[in-house]
Amino acid sequence: MNSNDNYQDLIRKVSSFLDNELTFEAERELIQEIKTNPEFLRMLSKEASFREFIKSKIQRRKVSPSLIQAIKDKIRVNPA
């Protein structure tokens, strides 16, 4: 595995970590990697900051309760 592959693998791990998608074991391994390599911690911090920036800049419109109910009514399956 070359350094670019290692970098891409780390990016995937960091993203999965921030999305709470890692298993306990994988999370523990990532934390150990971060402790041994300060560059990993910098990348994690940078990605987390970027995600917070995006969240703060995006304004989501509220969905009306009637639309939610209409969707629920359409997907509700009636027993035959």
Model's pTM, two decimal places? 0.55
Compute the chain's Rg from CA coordinates.
20
- Given a cut of 90, whether residue 28 has pLDDT beyond it is yes
How far apart, in whole angstroms, are the C-alpha atoms of residue 1 and residue 9? Answer: 10
pLDDT at 25: 94
pLDDT at 38: 83
How far apart, in whole angstroms, are the C-alpha atoms of residue 78 and residue 6? Answer: 50
Number of H helices, E strands in the chain: 4, 0
Q: What is the average pLDDT across 44-51?
A: 87
- Given a cut of 80, whether residue 3 has pLDDT beyond it is no
pLDDT at 47: 84
pLDDT at 79: 55
How far apart, in whole angstroms, are the C-alpha atoms of residue 45 and residue 39? Answer: 10
pLDDT at 13: 86
